[in-house]
């Protein structure tokens, strides 16, 4: 099939609804939960602020517009390789220099929602990924791997979403070995429904924060606070997630979308 024909077919499928567009993003605003690092680890991102410039008033009689105060890593967002010290030297590792091809790619969705419901500290292992591949097919190079946990249903309240107690945050994520395995399969990135790409317990792993340390060390990407992964098939969706072209950016909020067969 010619590529022009493929695009024609896609356009028709979008118009007819036989391919649907799913919104994978959380609402972005002052209520958006932001990660809370312990003070001994470092500084935090402030909450989103929306500043009005005018609202059809004396400051601009016919128009409304705002200016925003927000962190690069806020809400549903993209992690660029240079977000982490292990990926800081890649010439194409900032948001303005990542090849745009990476922003449109196939998605593998690993559903571990039952496991995460039973155990907030659930960790995805290599064995679990291999079991998924046996059922759904091999993870091929060039795609994303997204961990479905239904954690997005907690997004909206910082308390339940961050889920922290005196021992720190409790939220699901990958083991270091799982990330190493996915890199060996040639994935371009790792995505999760939690506030960041790593598990709540990841600060105590070896290496600490493996989804950040290892993925970015390999010049791969991250997506955090994804929503509605429960509407995606295990394989067959196309993920569209383009960070803003921030000069030298380490990440960016995104409107993440998925194209899925109806």
Q: Let me know if 73 is a catalytic residue.
A: no
Cβ distance to Mn ion smaller for residue 73 or 216: 73
Query: Phi, psi (5° rounding) for residue 22?
Result: -105, 135
CB 195 to Mn ion: min, Å: 9
Cβ distance to Mn ion smaller for residue 37 or 117: 37
Q: Which residue is nearest to Mn ion (CB)?
A: 73
Cβ distance to Mn ion smaller for residue 143 or 251: 251
Candidates 237, 189, 217; CA nearest to 89 is: 217
Give the Cα separation of 157 and 159 in Å (integer): 5
CB 75 to Mn ion: min, Å: 10
| Residues 15-74 contacting Mn ion, CB under 5 A | 73
| Residues 76-95 contacting Mn ion, CB under 5 A | 79
Q: Is 150 in the site for Mn ion (CB under 5 A)?
A: no
CB 202 to Mn ion: min, Å: 13
Catalytic residue among 51, 73, 77, 83: 83
Number of residues that bind Mn ion (CB under 5 A): 3
Give the Cα separation of 174 and 211 in Å (integer): 7
Give the Cα separation of 80 and 82 in Å (integer): 5
Give the Cα separation of 40 and 89 in Å (integer): 26
CB 63 within 8 A of CB 54: yes
Give the Cα separation of 176 and 232 in Å (integer): 25
Supply the residues annotated as catalytic.
83
Contacting residues toward Mn ion, per CB under 5 A:
73, 79, 251
């Amino acid at each position: 099939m010619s590529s022009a024909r493929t695009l024609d077919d896609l356009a028709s499928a979008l118009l007819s609804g036989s391919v649907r567009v799913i919104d994978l993003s959380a609402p972005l605003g002052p209520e958006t939960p932001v990660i809370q690092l312990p003070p001994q680890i470092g500084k935090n991102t402030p909450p989103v602020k929306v500043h009005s410039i005018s609202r059809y008033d004396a400051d601009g009689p016919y128009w409304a517009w705002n200016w925003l105060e927000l962190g690069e890593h806020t809400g549903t967002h993209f992690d660029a390789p240079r977000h982490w010290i292990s990926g800081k030297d890649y010439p194409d590792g900032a948001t303005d220099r990542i090849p745009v091809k990476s922003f449109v790619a196939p998605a593998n969705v690993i559903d571990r929602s039952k496991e995460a419901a039973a155990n907030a500290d659930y960790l995805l292992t290599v064995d679990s990924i291999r079991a998924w591949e046996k059922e759904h097919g091999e993870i091929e190079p060039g795609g994303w791997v997204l961990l479905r946990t239904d954690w997005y249903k907690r997004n909206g309240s910082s308390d339940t979403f961050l889920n922290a107690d005196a021992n720190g945050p409790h939220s699901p994520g990958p083991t270091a070995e799982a990330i190493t395995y996915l890199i060996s399969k040639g994935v371009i990135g790792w995505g999760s429904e939690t506030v960041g790409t790593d598990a709540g317990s990841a600060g105590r792993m070896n290496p600490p924060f493996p989804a950040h340390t290892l993925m970015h060390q390999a010049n791969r990407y991250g997506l955090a606070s994804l929503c509605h992964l429960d509407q995606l098939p295990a394989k067959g969706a196309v993920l569209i997630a383009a960070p803003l072209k921030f000069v030298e950016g380490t990440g960016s909020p995104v409107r993440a979308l998925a194209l899925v067969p109806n």
